[in-house]
Amino acid sequence: MALGQRLGARLGPGDVVCLSGGLGAGKTTLARGAISAWTGRDEDAPSPTYTLVQTYDGPKGELWHVDLYRLKRPDEAWELGLDEAFVRAACLIEWPERLEGQAPRDRLDIALAPQGDGRRATFTAYGAWKGRLDAI
């Protein structure tokens, strides 16, 4: 949650963060922290597992929380309007591997894994994200 809040406070429109890890790894919890920071208030942010997309308005614009777990084909993501969201909104994407290599070039990948009583987060920055990790 704390990592998500730090991340969410630094996101802006056009930022894409891909969250990966197994079931129960903490992807949605991290996203909830980011959503709270984005909106400036505690949000009861449900997992978008069944709705696929939840959107939130904040002072900097719109944030999309996307869960691609139930997609069968990568092109189904584009039917959701994800390509437009990549340009005008901040995006948190759970199960980005469902895009099969079609994620944006400028993105931050965060892989989560259980470790002891907590989680380990591994960051991989691409494109414009490479110089921004120190702020998180």
Query: Cβ contacts of residue 24 below 8 Å, gap of 6+?
Result: 114
Interval 29-77: pLDDT, tens = 999 999 999 999 987 787 877 788 999 999 999 999 999 998 888 888 8
Residue 83 has pLDDT above 80, yes or no: yes
Q: Is residue 35 part of a domain?
A: yes
Give pLDDT, residue 76. Answer: 87
* Residue 36: exposure state from Cβ atoms within 10 A (0-12, 13-18, ≥19): buried
Domain count, the chain: 1
Q: Is residue 135 part of a domain?
A: no
Cβ–Cβ under 8 Å, residues 84 and 78: no
Residue 88 has pLDDT above 90, yes or no: yes
Give pLDDT, residue 136. Answer: 66
Q: Is residue 118 part of a domain?
A: yes
Reported pTM: 0.91
Of all residues in the chain, what percent carry a pLDDT higher than 90? Answer: 62
Q: Is residue 133 part of a domain?
A: no
Q: Is residue 100 part of a domain?
A: yes
Q: Is residue 136 part of a domain?
A: no
Q: Which domain range does residue 60 map to?
A: 2-128
What is the C-alpha to C-alpha distance for residues 75 and 128, in angstroms, rounded to an integer?
A: 25
Q: Is residue 57 part of a domain?
A: yes
Give pLDDT, residue 37. Answer: 96
- CATH number of the domain where residue 8 is located: 3.40.50.300
What is the C-alpha to C-alpha distance for residues 44 and 118, in angstroms, rounded to an integer?
A: 22
